[in-house]
Amino acid sequence: MSELDEKLAEQLAKTQISLGSSVNFTGKDIPNLLKVLEGEKDRNARASAADILGRILGELKDIDGQLVERIRALTKQEKDLSVKTKLMMMETKLRTLKILGSNIFQAREELFKPDPIQLEKLRRAVDSLRTAFDEVKGGSGAFDATYEILRELGKGGMGKALLAHRKTDGAHVVIKVLLEQFNTHQMLVARFVREANVMAMLNHPNIVRLIEHGDNGKNYFIVMEFLEGGDLWKAFEEGKLTYPLIIRAITHILDGLAFAHQHGIIHRDLKPSNVFFDREGVAKLADFGLAKMPAGADDKLTRSGEMFGTPRYMPPEQALSAGEVDQTADLFSLGVMAYEILSCGKQPVGDFAPLGGMGRGVPAGWDPIIERCIRPRPKERWQSAAELKAAIQALGPAQ
């Protein structure tokens, strides 16, 4: 047993993970779990070892840098995408704990702790949030000169989306608003403004159109076109997607991606809920809040080693460092998304079932297309949206 293994075993000797009435693991099992991940040929055994190791390491109060490097080395050698993803997430959590210290929640509170001078302003902002929607609807949101707010479409941790109509011509629009309590958070404001700037660069039929953006004194906002058809995930859940409609949507998405990539923009968060339809069924890319800027642009908002995106759809390299991805990251995400929709909700993980054998009329030619989309190494994937689109169009109609 190595010095590192002994140290971990001693540190976690009292940690016990129960997996049932008779199966338990403790910190003393770490060396054997690491050996399984290093040398076991059966991917199911490696996947189970990764799950158990992740749960045990979740009890750590302090992180040794050697452990992080050990997990990183295992990640590099792992060939199975499912196990590799588990190890990547494990490494990310360990690095986060290493940086923030033993009490992550306290550290997080310290990170967002307001300056005493700003406490009164923060209190007023928090109080106003309780009736924010009513205030905006009543006209105090300063949108009332140009837009009338109709209703709230959705709300996230940092912002909300409002449906409004423009008073000059009655056109429906969506107003995306950064919540007031984040107005003094420089990083979040910068990312919100960057999203608007990215949209301004991308005028294309398959990308949601920007109308205007700015700061009205109360909110940072982005006004964009309203798409009546809803998002791709909703259409999938409601059973509205026939094979021809799926192919049409995917080719529209690829056209939008091709245009963005030509301008040096990588979406980095492609998923069904970020694709919307207009009333004619044209699919459009939305939500460029995590987009990577063109090479050479001032993109200090993405730091080396930083991970963001949606793990379900992101490629391995994005889980390690979102700043290091290229256009093939978006094509990886599209491959996962296409398989998910064509297979009625399944994920292309491990030894996933071929689409051609599901009996849904999907051409067997889809299988090598998906397989190439989601290869772990970017250089082995489709290298452009146009190339991928041509391969899909060559498949012909459903069988």
Question: What is the spatial distance between Cα 290 and Cα 62, in angstroms, rounded to a whole number?
Answer: 31
Among 93, 170, 195, 179, smallest CA distance to 136 is for: 179
Q: Percent of the chain scored above 70 by pLDDT?
A: 72
Question: 49-61 in b/e burial notation, b at 16+ Cβ within 10 A?
Answer: bbbbbbebbeebe
269 in active site:
yes
C-alpha 371: how far from chain center: 21
Does position 16 have pLDDT exceeding 50, yes or no? no
If DSSP codes are grouped into helix, strand and coil, which group holds residue 213? strand
> At a CB cut-off of 8 Å and minimum separation 6, what does 313 contact?
269, 270, 271, 332, 333, 336, 337
**Contact at 8 Å (CB) between 154 and 160?**
yes
Query: What pLDDT score does 179 carry?
Result: 87
Does position 372 have pLDDT exceeding 90, yes or no? yes
**Contact at 8 Å (CB) between 169 and 147?**
no
**Contact at 8 Å (CB) between 231 and 373?**
no
Stretch 193-201: mean pLDDT, rounded?
88
What class is the 117-225 domain?
alpha beta
C-alpha 67: how far from chain center: 27
Query: What pLDDT score does 59 carry?
Result: 60
Structure tokens at 251: 């080719």
74 vs 33, 134, 251, 308, 320, CA distance in Å? 12, 53, 37, 22, 13
Query: What pLDDT score does 240 carry?
Result: 87
Structure tokens at 99: 């940086």
Least confident segment among 25-29, 42-46, 291-295, 317-321: 25-29
> What is the residue extent of each domain of the chain?
3-106, 117-225, 232-393
Structure tokens at 105: 């929640």
Cα four-point dihedral sign 301, 307, 313, 316: positive
**Contact at 8 Å (CB) between 324 and 333?**
no
Token pair 């608007």: residue: 196
Stretch 93-102: mean pLDDT, rounded?
58
Average pLDDT, the chain: 77
103-119 tens-digit pLDDT: 444 444 444 444 555 55
Q: DSSP assignment, residue 380?
A: G
Question: What is the spatial distance between Cα 250 and Cα 255, in angstroms, rounded to a whole number?
Answer: 9
Question: 331-341 in b/e burial notation, b at 16+ Cβ within 10 A?
Answer: bbbbbbbbbbb
Pick 144 or 116 by higher pLDDT: 144
Set 80, 231, 255, 269: catalytic member: 269
Segments in the chain forming alpha helices (H):
3-11, 30-39, 43-57, 65-77, 81-100, 104-111, 119-129, 132-137, 186-201, 232-237, 243-262, 316-320, 328-342, 366-373, 385-393
* 296 CB burial (10 A radius; 0-12, 13-18, 19+): exposed
Query: What pLDDT score does 257 carry?
Result: 97
328-359 tens-digit pLDDT: 999 999 999 999 999 888 888 877 888 877 76
Whether domain 232-393 has CATH 1.10.510.10: yes
> At a CB cut-off of 8 Å and minimum separation 6, what does 388 contact?
254, 331, 334, 369, 373, 382
Query: What pLDDT score does 2 carry?
Result: 53
Question: What is the spatial distance between Cα 284 and Cα 259, in angstroms, rounded to a whole number?
Answer: 12
Confidence of residue 86 (pLDDT cuts 50, 70, 90): confident
242-273 tens-digit pLDDT: 889 999 999 999 999 999 999 999 999 999 99
**Contact at 8 Å (CB) between 164 and 150?**
yes
Does position 384 have pLDDT exceeding 50, yes or no? yes
* 318 CB burial (10 A radius; 0-12, 13-18, 19+): buried
If DSSP codes are grouped into helix, strand and coil, which group holds residue 364? coil
Highest mean pLDDT among 68-82, 106-120, 169-183, 242-256: 242-256
Query: What pLDDT score does 145 carry?
Result: 77
**Contact at 8 Å (CB) between 378 and 328?**
yes
Question: What is the spatial distance between Cα 144 and Cα 217, in angstroms, rounded to a whole number?
Answer: 13
Threshold 0.75, pTM exceeds: no
Confidence of residue 220 (pLDDT cuts 50, 70, 90): confident
Least confident segment among 77-81, 167-171, 281-285, 343-347: 77-81
Cα four-point dihedral sign 122, 126, 129, 131: negative
